[in-house]
Structure 1
Amino acid sequence: MIYQLTEGATVEQLEAAGLGTFYAIRNGALFPADPNGVPWTATYIQAHADPVADLHEDMAAEQKARATYEHLLNLAEDPGAKDALRFLREREVVHFQRFGEALRIVQEYQQAKKVY
Protein backbone atom coordinates (compact mmCIF):
# COMPACT_ATOMS: atom_id res chain seq x y z
CA MET A 1 0.00 0.00 0.00
CA ILE A 2 2.84 2.37 0.89
CA TYR A 3 4.59 1.52 -2.36
CA GLN A 4 1.42 2.19 -4.34
CA LEU A 5 0.87 5.54 -2.64
CA THR A 6 4.47 6.69 -3.10
CA GLU A 7 5.17 5.16 -6.53
CA GLY A 8 6.28 7.85 -8.91
CA ALA A 9 6.52 10.51 -6.18
CA THR A 10 9.33 12.99 -6.62
CA VAL A 11 11.90 13.65 -3.92
CA GLU A 12 10.26 17.04 -3.37
CA GLN A 13 6.85 15.41 -2.84
CA LEU A 14 8.34 12.90 -0.39
CA GLU A 15 10.00 15.73 1.53
CA ALA A 16 6.74 17.72 1.60
CA ALA A 17 4.97 14.63 3.01
CA GLY A 18 7.57 14.32 5.79
CA LEU A 19 9.21 11.26 4.20
CA GLY A 20 12.51 12.91 3.27
CA THR A 21 14.54 11.16 5.96
CA PHE A 22 12.97 7.80 5.13
CA TYR A 23 13.86 8.32 1.46
CA ALA A 24 17.42 9.32 2.36
CA ILE A 25 17.98 6.13 4.32
CA ARG A 26 15.88 3.57 2.43
CA ASN A 27 14.80 5.10 -0.90
CA GLY A 28 11.63 3.14 -1.75
CA ALA A 29 12.40 0.02 0.28
CA LEU A 30 9.85 -1.25 2.76
CA PHE A 31 10.92 -1.18 6.39
CA PRO A 32 8.72 -2.52 9.18
CA ALA A 33 8.21 0.37 11.59
CA ASP A 34 5.42 2.03 13.50
CA PRO A 35 3.98 5.37 12.35
CA ASN A 36 6.61 7.19 14.41
CA GLY A 37 9.43 5.40 12.60
CA VAL A 38 10.30 3.08 15.49
CA PRO A 39 11.54 -0.18 13.91
CA TRP A 40 9.68 -3.42 14.54
CA THR A 41 11.33 -5.67 17.09
CA ALA A 42 10.57 -9.11 18.48
CA THR A 43 10.05 -7.50 21.90
CA TYR A 44 6.52 -6.66 20.66
CA ILE A 45 5.65 -10.35 20.92
CA GLN A 46 4.18 -11.30 24.27
CA ALA A 47 4.22 -14.91 25.42
CA HIS A 48 3.69 -16.26 28.92
CA ALA A 49 3.50 -20.05 28.39
CA ASP A 50 -0.07 -19.84 29.66
CA PRO A 51 -2.52 -20.45 26.80
CA VAL A 52 -5.30 -18.41 28.41
CA ALA A 53 -3.03 -15.40 29.01
CA ASP A 54 -1.48 -15.73 25.56
CA LEU A 55 -4.86 -15.92 23.81
CA HIS A 56 -6.10 -12.87 25.71
CA GLU A 57 -2.93 -11.06 24.61
CA ASP A 58 -3.59 -12.12 21.01
CA MET A 59 -7.19 -10.91 21.19
CA ALA A 60 -6.07 -7.55 22.59
CA ALA A 61 -3.53 -7.17 19.79
CA GLU A 62 -6.23 -7.79 17.19
CA GLN A 63 -8.48 -5.14 18.75
CA LYS A 64 -5.60 -2.64 18.82
CA ALA A 65 -4.88 -3.35 15.15
CA ARG A 66 -8.58 -2.93 14.28
CA ALA A 67 -8.64 0.43 16.05
CA THR A 68 -5.51 1.51 14.19
CA TYR A 69 -7.09 0.65 10.84
CA GLU A 70 -10.15 2.69 11.80
CA HIS A 71 -7.93 5.67 12.61
CA LEU A 72 -6.08 5.22 9.31
CA LEU A 73 -9.41 5.14 7.46
CA ASN A 74 -10.22 8.53 8.99
CA LEU A 75 -6.93 9.89 7.64
CA ALA A 76 -6.96 8.23 4.20
CA GLU A 77 -8.25 9.95 1.08
CA ASP A 78 -7.28 7.48 -1.65
CA PRO A 79 -10.24 5.16 -2.45
CA GLY A 80 -7.95 2.19 -3.16
CA ALA A 81 -6.11 2.66 0.12
CA LYS A 82 -9.43 2.94 1.96
CA ASP A 83 -10.64 -0.32 0.40
CA ALA A 84 -7.42 -2.08 1.46
CA LEU A 85 -7.69 -0.64 4.98
CA ARG A 86 -11.32 -1.81 5.27
CA PHE A 87 -10.27 -5.31 4.24
CA LEU A 88 -7.44 -5.34 6.77
CA ARG A 89 -9.74 -4.01 9.51
CA GLU A 90 -12.28 -6.77 8.86
CA ARG A 91 -9.49 -9.35 8.87
CA GLU A 92 -8.57 -8.23 12.39
CA VAL A 93 -12.20 -8.75 13.46
CA VAL A 94 -12.12 -12.31 12.11
CA HIS A 95 -8.78 -12.98 13.82
CA PHE A 96 -10.25 -11.72 17.11
CA GLN A 97 -13.20 -14.10 16.69
CA ARG A 98 -10.95 -17.08 15.90
CA PHE A 99 -8.75 -16.38 18.94
CA GLY A 100 -11.95 -16.15 21.02
CA GLU A 101 -13.03 -19.56 19.75
CA ALA A 102 -9.60 -20.99 20.57
CA LEU A 103 -9.81 -19.48 24.05
CA ARG A 104 -13.20 -21.13 24.63
CA ILE A 105 -11.82 -24.50 23.50
CA VAL A 106 -8.76 -24.19 25.76
CA GLN A 107 -10.87 -23.21 28.75
CA GLU A 108 -13.30 -26.09 28.16
CA TYR A 109 -10.37 -28.49 27.95
CA GLN A 110 -8.81 -27.12 31.13
CA GLN A 111 -12.12 -27.45 33.00
CA ALA A 112 -12.88 -30.96 31.73
CA LYS A 113 -12.35 -33.83 34.10
CA LYS A 114 -9.36 -35.86 33.03
CA VAL A 115 -9.69 -39.62 33.49
CA TYR A 116 -6.71 -41.81 32.77
Structure 2
Amino acid sequence: MYAKKLQEILGGQFGEISVAMQYLFQGWNARGDERYKDLIMDTGTEELGHVEMISTMIARLLDDAPVNEQEKAAEDPVIGAIMGGMNPHHAIVSGLGAMPENSTGVPWSGGYIVASGNLITDLRANLNAESQGRLQVARLYEMTDDRGVKEMLSLRGIRCIKTNGLLLSRN
Protein backbone atom coordinates (compact mmCIF):
# COMPACT_ATOMS: atom_id res chain seq x y z
CA MET A 1 0.00 0.00 0.00
CA TYR A 2 1.45 3.34 -1.07
CA ALA A 3 0.39 5.25 2.06
CA LYS A 4 2.61 2.91 4.08
CA LYS A 5 5.55 3.75 1.81
CA LEU A 6 4.94 7.48 2.28
CA GLN A 7 5.27 6.99 6.03
CA GLU A 8 9.03 6.71 5.44
CA ILE A 9 9.32 10.31 4.20
CA LEU A 10 7.12 11.45 7.07
CA GLY A 11 8.44 9.68 10.16
CA GLY A 12 11.64 7.97 9.00
CA GLN A 13 15.18 8.92 9.93
CA PHE A 14 15.40 11.42 7.05
CA GLY A 15 11.67 12.16 6.94
CA GLU A 16 9.94 15.50 7.19
CA ILE A 17 9.37 15.28 10.95
CA SER A 18 13.10 14.72 11.51
CA VAL A 19 14.14 17.52 9.19
CA ALA A 20 11.63 19.98 10.68
CA MET A 21 12.65 19.17 14.25
CA GLN A 22 16.33 19.33 13.33
CA TYR A 23 16.02 22.86 11.93
CA LEU A 24 13.81 24.04 14.79
CA PHE A 25 16.09 22.73 17.54
CA GLN A 26 19.10 24.19 15.75
CA GLY A 27 17.31 27.54 15.61
CA TRP A 28 16.19 27.47 19.21
CA ASN A 29 19.73 26.66 20.32
CA ALA A 30 21.48 29.08 17.95
CA ARG A 31 23.76 31.72 19.38
CA GLY A 32 25.43 34.57 17.62
CA ASP A 33 24.18 36.37 14.54
CA GLU A 34 20.37 36.51 14.69
CA ARG A 35 20.13 36.35 10.89
CA TYR A 36 21.31 32.74 10.93
CA LYS A 37 18.90 31.86 13.71
CA ASP A 38 16.04 33.47 11.78
CA LEU A 39 17.00 31.64 8.59
CA ILE A 40 17.14 28.27 10.35
CA MET A 41 13.84 28.92 12.16
CA ASP A 42 12.16 29.98 8.90
CA THR A 43 13.41 26.81 7.24
CA GLY A 44 12.10 24.68 10.12
CA THR A 45 8.72 26.35 9.78
CA GLU A 46 8.71 25.63 6.04
CA GLU A 47 9.50 21.99 6.83
CA LEU A 48 6.40 21.83 9.04
CA GLY A 49 4.46 22.60 5.85
CA HIS A 50 6.04 19.50 4.31
CA VAL A 51 4.90 17.45 7.33
CA GLU A 52 1.38 18.72 6.67
CA MET A 53 1.56 17.90 2.95
CA ILE A 54 2.77 14.34 3.47
CA SER A 55 0.38 13.69 6.39
CA THR A 56 -2.57 14.91 4.35
CA MET A 57 -1.57 12.77 1.37
CA ILE A 58 -1.28 9.68 3.58
CA ALA A 59 -4.70 10.34 5.10
CA ARG A 60 -6.26 10.89 1.65
CA LEU A 61 -4.75 7.67 0.30
CA LEU A 62 -6.12 5.80 3.31
CA ASP A 63 -9.60 7.29 2.81
CA ASP A 64 -10.25 4.81 0.02
CA ALA A 65 -8.61 1.84 1.72
CA PRO A 66 -11.27 -0.54 3.07
CA VAL A 67 -9.45 -2.39 5.82
CA ASN A 68 -11.52 -5.58 5.63
CA GLU A 69 -10.85 -6.03 1.90
CA GLN A 70 -7.12 -5.52 2.38
CA GLU A 71 -7.03 -8.02 5.23
CA LYS A 72 -8.98 -10.56 3.16
CA ALA A 73 -6.63 -10.12 0.20
CA ALA A 74 -3.57 -10.37 2.45
CA GLU A 75 -4.71 -13.85 3.59
CA ASP A 76 -3.43 -15.16 0.26
CA PRO A 77 0.31 -15.66 0.96
CA VAL A 78 1.36 -14.34 -2.45
CA ILE A 79 -0.82 -11.23 -2.32
CA GLY A 80 0.05 -10.72 1.36
CA ALA A 81 3.76 -10.77 0.50
CA ILE A 82 3.23 -8.27 -2.31
CA MET A 83 1.08 -5.93 -0.24
CA GLY A 84 3.24 -6.22 2.83
CA GLY A 85 -0.01 -5.92 4.76
CA MET A 86 -1.42 -2.72 6.12
CA ASN A 87 0.02 -1.07 9.18
CA PRO A 88 -2.72 -1.80 11.77
CA HIS A 89 -1.89 1.47 13.55
CA HIS A 90 -3.37 3.33 10.61
CA ALA A 91 -6.76 1.77 11.29
CA ILE A 92 -6.70 1.21 15.05
CA VAL A 93 -4.76 4.12 16.52
CA SER A 94 -5.10 6.94 14.01
CA GLY A 95 -8.40 6.11 12.30
CA LEU A 96 -6.69 5.77 8.90
CA GLY A 97 -4.47 8.80 9.31
CA ALA A 98 -0.73 9.47 9.15
CA MET A 99 1.44 8.46 12.09
CA PRO A 100 4.81 9.78 13.37
CA GLU A 101 6.59 6.59 12.33
CA ASN A 102 8.48 5.13 9.40
CA SER A 103 7.19 2.72 6.74
CA THR A 104 7.74 -0.33 8.95
CA GLY A 105 5.93 1.14 11.97
CA VAL A 106 9.01 2.20 13.96
CA PRO A 107 8.06 5.37 15.90
CA TRP A 108 9.83 8.63 15.12
CA SER A 109 12.76 9.33 17.45
CA GLY A 110 14.40 12.54 18.54
CA GLY A 111 17.66 10.62 18.16
CA TYR A 112 17.34 11.19 14.40
CA ILE A 113 18.13 14.90 14.68
CA VAL A 114 21.44 16.78 14.87
CA ALA A 115 21.53 20.08 16.77
CA SER A 116 25.17 20.50 17.78
CA GLY A 117 25.27 24.21 18.52
CA ASN A 118 27.90 24.67 15.80
CA LEU A 119 26.46 26.41 12.75
CA ILE A 120 28.78 24.80 10.19
CA THR A 121 28.29 21.30 11.61
CA ASP A 122 24.54 21.78 11.71
CA LEU A 123 24.41 23.06 8.12
CA ARG A 124 26.36 20.00 6.97
CA ALA A 125 23.95 17.74 8.84
CA ASN A 126 21.07 19.57 7.15
CA LEU A 127 22.61 19.03 3.73
CA ASN A 128 22.86 15.30 4.45
CA ALA A 129 19.28 15.09 5.74
CA GLU A 130 17.91 17.05 2.77
CA SER A 131 19.90 14.92 0.31
CA GLN A 132 18.68 11.67 1.83
CA GLY A 133 15.10 12.94 1.88
CA ARG A 134 15.30 14.03 -1.74
CA LEU A 135 16.63 10.60 -2.76
CA GLN A 136 13.78 8.84 -0.96
CA VAL A 137 11.18 11.12 -2.55
CA ALA A 138 12.65 10.41 -6.00
CA ARG A 139 12.40 6.68 -5.36
CA LEU A 140 8.80 6.99 -4.15
CA TYR A 141 7.96 9.11 -7.21
CA GLU A 142 9.06 6.23 -9.43
CA MET A 143 6.94 3.74 -7.46
CA THR A 144 3.57 5.25 -8.37
CA ASP A 145 1.48 6.09 -11.40
CA ASP A 146 -0.95 8.22 -9.38
CA ARG A 147 -0.90 11.70 -10.91
CA GLY A 148 -1.96 13.47 -7.71
CA VAL A 149 0.76 11.80 -5.67
CA LYS A 150 3.37 12.64 -8.31
CA GLU A 151 2.25 16.30 -8.34
CA MET A 152 2.48 16.52 -4.55
CA LEU A 153 5.93 14.91 -4.51
CA SER A 154 7.08 17.25 -7.29
CA LEU A 155 5.79 20.32 -5.43
CA ARG A 156 7.57 19.16 -2.28
CA GLY A 157 10.77 18.75 -4.30
CA ILE A 158 10.50 22.24 -5.79
CA ARG A 159 9.96 23.74 -2.33
CA CYS A 160 13.03 21.88 -1.02
CA ILE A 161 15.18 23.13 -3.90
CA LYS A 162 14.12 26.72 -3.15
CA THR A 163 14.82 26.27 0.57
CA ASN A 164 18.22 24.70 -0.07
CA GLY A 165 19.06 27.48 -2.52
CA LEU A 166 18.30 30.08 0.13
CA LEU A 167 20.49 28.30 2.65
CA LEU A 168 23.40 27.99 0.25
CA SER A 169 23.13 31.56 -1.02
CA ARG A 170 23.35 33.02 2.49
CA ASN A 171 26.55 31.20 3.45
Residue 53 of structure 1: CA displacement? 0.6
- Work out the percentage of aligned pairs sharing the same amino acid: 26
Contact 2:101 2:107 in 1 (8 A): yes
Residue 20 of structure 1: CA displacement? 4.9
Q: TM-score normalised to the size of structure 1?
A: 0.76
Cα displacement string for residues 40-75 of structure 1 (whole angstroms, at most 9, x for unaligned residues): 121111011110010111121111111111011011
d(CA) in 2 for partners of 1:99, 1:36: 32
Q: Which structure 2 residue ranges, 5 or more long, are not aligned?
A: 1-56, 75-82
Quickly say closer, same or farther: Cα 1:26–1:49, change in 2 above 3 A. Answer: same
2:167 aligns with 99
Contact 1:33 1:39 in 2 (8 A): yes
Structure with greater helix percent: 2
Task: Tell me the C-alpha RMSD between the 2 structures.
Answer: 1.8
Contact 1:48 1:54 in 2 (8 A): yes
Q: TM-score normalised to the size of structure 2?
A: 0.54
**Aligned positions of 1:53-72 closer than 5 A:** 53-72=121-140
> Which structure has more RCO (C-alpha within 8 Å, separation ≥ 6)?
2
Q: Bigger CA drift: 25-34 or 53-62?
A: 25-34
Contact 2:58 2:97 in 1 (8 A): no
Give the alignment partner of residue 2 of structure 1, picking from 13, 36, 58: 58
Give the alignment partner of residue 19 of structure 1, picking from 77, 86, 109: 86
